[in-house]
Chain A
Amino acid sequence: METLKQGEIKVVQDTQTSVTTVSASQTTATAVRGLETKNVHAWFGKHHVLSDVSLQFPERTVTGLIGPSGCGKSTFIRLLNRMHEFIPSAAMAGQVLQDGQDIYAPDVDAAAIRLKIGMVFQKPNPFPAMNIRENVLSGIKLAHLKVADHDAIVESCLTRAGLWKEVKDRLTATGGSLSGGQQQRLCIARSLAVEPSVLLMDEPCSALDPGSTLRIEETIKELAEKIAVVIVTHNMQQAARVSDFCAFFLTDGGPGYLVEADATKKLFTNPSDTRTADYVQGKFG
């Protein structure tokens, strides 16, 4: 078992003895930088869809969430930026900590949380009523943030998203004039404008062609030099290419649960659980 970082809590379910082992490092007093979940569950009405997930997403890492469809990965990622609660029958349990603070605490401003934890969706969706420049600045306008130099922000975000060179001469064109891959990079630039410390990505490349996919994966690796990235993906090879850590989810027909979470290299070459081994070898999924 790998050495736990300071303050890290790891939960592994032992299939043979069905005992839940919780390992914790001695000193948990220091607040963890980055995002962390502790024993998180999710429901839709009475339907239990996600069970007991505890994971950590430290700064400057890319974590991939893998597993077959229906395991609750998308639900889990929406718990991280408080988007889960928009569904009328949604309920949850457990804690989601950002820099040690529970984002579900009673007095927390959910909108402010979403400024710090951004999200990019599966289908690229630039705002149709705005041009490229306005799209990038839309987050700033929506949050009423005071920014000195709009042009500088537009350039820096588009550059970080790997789109600047392609659109710098047509910033007033509408978002719809871009290709699918470019639109998705525009969405990434838009999310970056409000300076999140974590970027959540829910299957960002599944609607794109391989060329755009590779470019976005490069972007993700560059982004991870400054922020944390959490990416849900169905594509195992993508997870292997892009992520530092991976978490494998599974369901037996009931709620989705975490089978194993480890460094990507280890998970793919020498996983601790046979189910993980089967999945990464493509025996099911």
Chain B
Amino acid sequence: MEALIASEIAPEPRQLSVVYNRADRIFRRIVTSGALTSLVLLGLIGVFLFVKSAQIFNDRGLSFITGSNWTAGSGDGVILDDFSIGPMLTGTILVSVIALIIAMPLAIGGALYIEFYAASRLRKLLSTLLDLAAAIPSLIFGLWGVVLFTSFGERWSILLNSRLGWVPFIKVQAEVFGRSPFVAGCVLASLITPIITSVSREVFSRTPRDLIDTCYALGSSRWGAIRTVVLPFGRSGVIGGAMLGLGRALGETVAVYLLLNIVFRYNFRILESEGGNIASLIALKFGEATEYELKALVAAGFVLFLLTLVVNMFAATIVEKSTRRK
């Protein structure tokens, strides 16, 4: 008898199919329509923004982003509509970057303090305070900023200007301090620090305990262990947190609206009392906007949306990479 040879061709896998009974089909239909509705509703926004702003981009092309005028036409052809967001776009980025630069050392230091320096009861208290701080509406930051912080901001601006006034982006043209990108940036920094601190602390707490123990077993000090193990381990998580904070700062409306003198002019001097961001531009202009101006505002919103989208996607991939690795 011939030896049984294992068949050279493996058998084809069977095509399995599932047939749902009526109850299940109804269930699946309801759930799917729910998800579909969410998808449509949210996707519609992106589509809508794009479509509504298409005309503007068609008319103006790239100069919508690079130009520096926002003039509503007088309707009778004497003054033409001329909309572009250049200064507001740079203003958005300027204020957010200032906020991030101030926030990062505070957030990392705060996270390290809570996780490695605070006694356990203090740690619990600080955690709760941190969560509550993250929940403070930005309007209240604006209120506090206008009423209580501006005087401090003014004082520091005067000091900075007198000591470092020779640096190009610090010197000012008008000696009026108090509603500058710097002041707005300081308040924004306080606004975004809670989320960066939370994310950083979360990733620091996931540092493998035995790596930290090994440092101590080698006779290291607390800072030595943090520097050697915790910071390298937490680097991507911290960056992810920073991107989340940046995304929040880019889209901030009321705090900037209240704290910054909105002037339609390119301004890179951080102590100069003029600036603006796209979000506050929309809030300012929507009330009396003509049909065409409204489209320009939508286009501006679309640009802002793309900007925050890129930053948030970047943040999400970094945070996911860091959580998956551990």
Q: Do chains A and B touch in the complex (CB under 8 A)?
A: yes
Please judge, given known A-B contacts A121-B214, A127-B211, whether A111 and B232 are in contact too, CB under 8 Å: no
A174 CB, nearest partner CB in chain B, Å:
12
B216 close to A86 (CB less than 8 A): yes
Contact with B along A90-115 (1 / 0, CB 8 A): 00000000000000000000011111
Q: Is A138 an interface residue (CB 8 A)?
A: yes
> A146-205: which residues lie under 8 A (CB-CB) from chain B?
187, 190-191, 194
Q: Which residues of B contact A142 (CB under 8 A)?
A: 215, 218-221, 224-225, 228
Known: A88-B120, A127-B229, A138-B228. A111 touches B214 (CB 8 A): no
**Is the C-beta of B217 less than 8 angstroms from some C-beta in chain A?**
yes
Selected contact of A119 from candidates B120, B217, B228, B233, CB within 8 Å: B217
202-225 of chain B: CB within 8 A of chain A: 208, 210-211, 213-221, 224-225
Interface size of B by CB at 8 A reads: 19
- Is A143 in the interface zone, CB < 8 Å from B? yes
What is the minimal beta-carbon distance from B325 to any residue of chain A, in angstroms? 10
| A58 sits at the interface (CB 8 A) | no
Q: Which residue of A lies closest to B229 (CB)?
A: A127
CB-defined contacts of B221 to chain A, threshold 8 Å:
111, 142
For chain B, what secondary structure do more than half of its interface residues adopt (helix, strand, loop), or is it mixed? Answer: helix
Tally of A interface residues using CB under 8 Å: 26
Please indicate the chain A residues that have their CB under 8 angstroms from the CB of B211 in the complex: 125, 127-128
Q: How far is the CA of A142 from the CA of B217 in the complex (A)?
A: 11
Docked CA distance A77–B80 (Å): 83
**Residues of chain A within 8 A of B210, CB atoms compared:** 121, 123, 125
Chain A residue at minimum C-beta to C-beta distance from B235: A129
- Return chain B residues, CB-CB under 8 Å to A51: none
**Chain B residue nearest in CB terms to A140:** B218
Whether B218 pairs with A125 at a CB distance below 8 angstroms is no
Task: Determine the distance from Cα of A128 to Cα of B214 in the docked complex, in whole angstroms.
Answer: 12
Whole-angstrom CA separation of A125 from B208 in the bound complex: 10
Check if A114 sits within 8 Å of B217, measured CB to CB. yes
* Given known A-B contacts A88-B120, A138-B228, A142-B228, A125 and B217 have beta carbons under 8 A apart: no
Give chain B nearest CB distance to A4 CB in angstroms: 32
Known: A125-B208, A142-B224. A114 touches B219 (CB 8 A): yes
Contact among A123, A128, A129, A139 for B218, CB-based, below 8 A: A139
For A194, what are the chain B residues with a Cβ–Cβ distance below 8 Å?
218-219
Instruction: Pick the 7 closest A-B CB pairs, nearest first.
Output: A142-B220, A115-B219, A129-B232, A139-B218, A119-B217, A114-B219, A142-B224
List chain B positions with a Cβ less than 8 A from chain A.
Answer: 120, 208, 210-211, 213-221, 224-225, 228-229, 232-233
26 inter-chain pairs at a CB distance below 8 angstroms, sorted by A residue, are A83-B217, A86-B213, A111-B220, A114-B216, A114-B218, A114-B219, A115-B219, A118-B217, A121-B210, A121-B214, A121-B217, A125-B214, A127-B228, A127-B229, A128-B211, A129-B228, A129-B232, A138-B228, A139-B218, A139-B219, A141-B228, A142-B218, A142-B220, A142-B225, A143-B220, A194-B219
